């Protein structure tokens, strides 16, 4: 089986079992940390945006920043261990996506502000 040349990933650890059992392992725990951090940042974004008291807003922004960093750290760890993969896109696909979203700027009330 040839590896997919579009996949960007680090190799998995040789100690990782080929077949996973029902027990939680480090990958499961780290994946749970990442999912929880994503969930928390969604809620904290809303809370910070709607906070009516300045000090509460500042406290929420601090926690939001720390939670975003925790999510980033979890992602980086998963990627480092080979548990998170990215796919390389061709320049043609990137150009198509750019053109698609560039066309959306015509629908904005101030189209000249998005360049």
- Is residue 15 one of the residues assigned to a domain? no
Structure tokens at 108: 């904005």
| Contact yes or no for 67/44 (Cβ under 8 A) | yes
Query: Does the pLDDT value for residue 38 go beyond 60?
Result: yes
Is 90 domain-assigned?
Answer: no
Query: Could you tell me the residue range of the domain that residue 52 belongs to?
Result: 26-84
Longest CA–CA separation in the chain, Å = 58
* 20 in a structural domain: no
**Span 67-81, pLDDT tens digits:** 999 999 999 999 999
Helix (H/G/I), strand (E/B), else coil: 7: strand
Domain count, the chain: 1
| Residue 106 in domain | no
For residue 95, tell me if it sits in a domain. no
* 92, part of any domain: no
C-beta separation of 68 from 41 below 8 A: yes
- pLDDT, tens digit, for every residue of 49-107? 999 999 999 999 999 999 999 999 999 999 999 888 888 888 998 999 898 888 887 77
């Amino acid at each position: 089986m040839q590896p997919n040349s579009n996949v960007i990933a680090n190799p998995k650890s040789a100690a990782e079992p080929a077949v996973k059992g029902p027990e939680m392992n480090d990958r499961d725990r780290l994946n749970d940390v990442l999912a929880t951090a994503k969930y928390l940042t969604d809620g904290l974004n809303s809370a910070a945006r709607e906070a009516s008291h300045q000090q509460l807003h500042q406290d929420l922004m601090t926690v939001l920043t720390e939670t975003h960093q925790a999510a980033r750290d979890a992602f980086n760890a998963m990627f480092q261990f080979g548990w998170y993969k990215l796919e390389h896109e061709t320049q043609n696909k990137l150009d198509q996506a750019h053109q698609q979203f560039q066309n959306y700027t015509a629908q904005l009330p101030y189209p000249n502000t998005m360049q």
